[in-house]
Structures are given as C-alpha cells and as structure tokens.
Amino acid sequence: MKPQILQLNPILIPAANEELAALYEVHKYFEIEDQAVWLAQHGPSIQAVITGGHTGISRAMLEQLPALKVVAVNGVGTDAVDLAYCRERGLPVTATLGALTEDVADLAIGLLIAACRNICAGDRFVRDGQWERFPQPSAIPLARRFSGMRVGIVGMGRVGRAVATRAAAFGCPIRYTDLQRMNDLPHEFVSDLVDLARDSDALVLCAAADKAEGIVNAEVLDALGPRGFLVNVARGRLVNEVDLAQAIEAGSIAGAGLDVFVDEPRVPLALRQSDRTTLQAHRASATWETRAAMIRMVLDSVADGLAGKRPSMSLTT
Ligand code: 8YV
C-alpha cells in the first residue's frame, strides 16, 4: 500500500502533483467537506503532511496524526507550526530554505518602486480612460524617486540580504535591524526599530514572525513619517494593521507596498481603497521557477521523512 499523505494547500506545479499521485495516496484536505469527521477517521494512517508557510499546521491537528513522520512546509515561514512540540516529538519539520529568496526580494523592490512611483494608480488612470478626460500633466501628482532612498531592512536573513543587494544597486544607503548585529555585513546596524524608521525613507519587512507580532505600530509609522514608505513581504502580523490603516488614511506615511496581511485573504477596506497602497495577494514566491524549486525540496523532504532519514531541510531534528 502507498504511504498516505495529507496535503493542506493546492500545489500549482502539475508535474509535482503527478509525481505525488504516483508515489503516494494523497488526501487533499482543502477539498474534504467534513474535515473533522475525516480527520478522526483517517488521521491515524497519515504519514506525511505537506502544508504552506502561511497555513502551517495546528497542534490540534498534529495530535490527531500519531503515525506522522514528516511535516514538509512548502515555504520558508514556520511561524504557523509549533516547532517546540514537533522537536519534542522527534518530528522533522522542513522548509524550502533558499528556494524563494530571489523572488521575494524581487517583489519587495517591485512593490517599493510601484509605491514610490504610483505605478498602479497610474495604470488605473490610463486604463479607466482618465488620461483622455484629464490630459494636462498636473492631473497626476509628481511621484517620489526610489534610487538613492535610505532603505531600512527589518530582518537580515536570506531575503533581507537579497533586498539589500538589490537596493544597493539603486544607490540606496542601507541600514538594518535584527536580533543582533551581523558582522559580515557592511551596512549599519540599528538596534531600535523606531530609530531605524526615523532614519529611513523606506522600511522593508523581511523578518520571521515567530516572535515579532505587531512590531510595526503607530510609533514606528510616526517615526517613518509622511515621506516614508512601508513594504511587507514577510508576514502580515508583523504590522499592527489598524495602526497602518490609520496612517494610510491620514497620510502620516507616504505609502505602502503589501504582499501579506494579518487575516488573509481579508484586507482592511482602508488599505484597499487608498491610492497610497500597492497590494498583492501573498504572491512573493509565486513564480513557476520558484514554486518548482520549492516543491522539489518538499518532495525530497517527504521521501526522506518516510524512509526514516533526517531530511536535510529539517528545522527540528
Ligand atoms: C509561500 C510563504 O509561498 O514561504 C512562506 O513562508 O508564506 C509563502 O511565500 C507559501 O508558503 C506557499 O505555500
């Protein structure tokens, strides 16, 4: 009999779905109607779970999967998995470390340029026929230059570093904050986030959200100020979204480029209605190239876990 796999999110690479179906009996949890009943009945025979970074897996669900040998996260964020519990249980939890760095950094810079240059508002202006109705150049306010902006990076892991490389190519002075200074970096370390915001034209969030809920609050946004931009390609809950919505409405920051939100797919109306925001539906890793690389790592992790080997991407074993 094939090993039984529980898949919590759709996988968008057809070849990977075919490979999974050939090797395993795959249960697509998101297609199951009565999930509680199904889990009680089939949970004991599940040997591997594939989940997304944002979805993770609840401890309650893990407790219903006693035969589980591996949790493969199709992403880098593991904040939605109880790693301490998995460690205690000797259960490998794997992530797709390194696979999505470039794409996430690309989108961070894309969102930042889009926010500074009002690219999406400009697109709507042309698309809606407004240009013909208001042809005078003063119909659209002047934008802000991105090149040379002071960029503050929050979280100098793989993605933060890739954002720094890109921003440096645009002539941007870079400062960063993290839990500690990184001696291998030429950039200035600023231990306090409010200080970093005060000295930045743009704050780019690249941090893990395990221990950092709501760190971008009204005080940080005030320090960023009416000429400052916020970009978030990490996790929505790093930001106090109520404070952000107020800052956007009041114009106490200049704009925001956001790929992630506190309660996805719900996005506060104030953020959706404003021309100061450029929004994406959690798409930073969503390219063919990256998703193919990610799912390859997931398939390898599942195979290792089922074979009783320590997956090389394990964070807990
Ligand atoms: C992934 C993410 O694309 O890596 C993460 O932690 O949140 C996303 O970028 C998502 O997990 C896809 O499944």
Provide the residue-wise pLDDT of the chain in tens; the chain has 317 residues.
899 999 999 999 999 999 999 999 999 999 999 999 999 999 999 999 999 999 999 999 999 999 999 999 999 999 999 999 999 999 999 999 999 999 999 999 999 999 999 999 999 999 999 999 999 999 999 999 999 999 999 999 999 999 999 999 999 999 999 999 999 999 999 999 999 999 999 999 999 998 889 999 999 999 999 999 999 999 999 999 999 999 999 999 999 999 999 999 999 999 999 999 999 999 999 999 999 999 999 999 999 999 999 999 999 99
Provide the sign of the torsion angle of the four alpha carbons 298, 299, 300, 305, taken in this order.
positive
pLDDT at 211: 81
Distances in whole angstroms, Cα of residue 68 to Cα of each of 8, 24, 43, 62: 14, 14, 9, 8
Minimal-distance CA residue to ligand 1 atom 4:
75
Nearest-angstrom CA–CA distance, 70 and 296: 15
Distance 21 CA to ligand 1 centre (A): 22
In what helix (H) or strand (E) does residue 70 lie, and over which residues does it extend?
strand 70-74
Residue among 99, 89, 72, 68 at smallest CA distance from 8: 72
Spatial CB neighbours of 158, under 8 Å, sequence gap ≥ 6? 76, 97, 98, 101
Q: What domains sit in the chain, N to C, each tagged with a CATH number? A: 4-99+289-306 (3.40.50.720), 101-279 (3.40.50.720)
Question: Cα torsion at 72, 281, 194, 173 (round to 10°)?
Answer: 90
**Contact yes or no for 260/277 (Cβ under 8 A):** no
Distance 225 CA to ligand 1 centre (A): 30
Residue 144 annotated as catalytic: no
In what helix (H) or strand (E) does residue 115 lie, and over which residues does it extend?
helix 101-117
Provide the sign of the torsion angle of the four alpha carbons 256, 237, 7, 102, taken in this order.
positive
Nearest-angstrom CA–CA distance, 209 and 142: 35
Minimal-distance CA residue to ligand 1 atom 3:
285
pLDDT at 201: 98
**Contact yes or no for 220/247 (Cβ under 8 A):** no
User: Ligand 1: residues whose CB is within 6 Å?
Assistant: 9, 52-54, 74-77, 100, 284-285
Residue 289 annotated as catalytic: no
Residue among 242, 235, 293, 302 at smallest CA distance from 264: 235
Can you tell me which atom of ligand 1 is nearest the CA of 290?
3
CA 45 from chain centre, in angstroms, equals 32
**Contact yes or no for 265/288 (Cβ under 8 A):** no
Nearest-angstrom CA–CA distance, 159 and 208: 10
Distance 236 CA to ligand 1 centre (A): 12
Nearest-angstrom CA–CA distance, 88 and 106: 37
Minimal-distance CA residue to ligand 1 atom 1:
75
Specify the pTM.
0.96
Residue 235 annotated as catalytic: yes
Out of 235, 241, 276, 291, the active site residue is 235
Distance 100 CA to ligand 1 centre (A): 9
Out of 144, 264, 296, 310, the active site residue is 264
Distance 54 CA to ligand 1 centre (A): 6
100, 102, 159, best to mutate for ligand 1 pocket (most atoms within 8 Å of CB): 100
Reported as half-sphere exposure (CB side, CA atoms, 13 A), residue 176 has a value of: 28
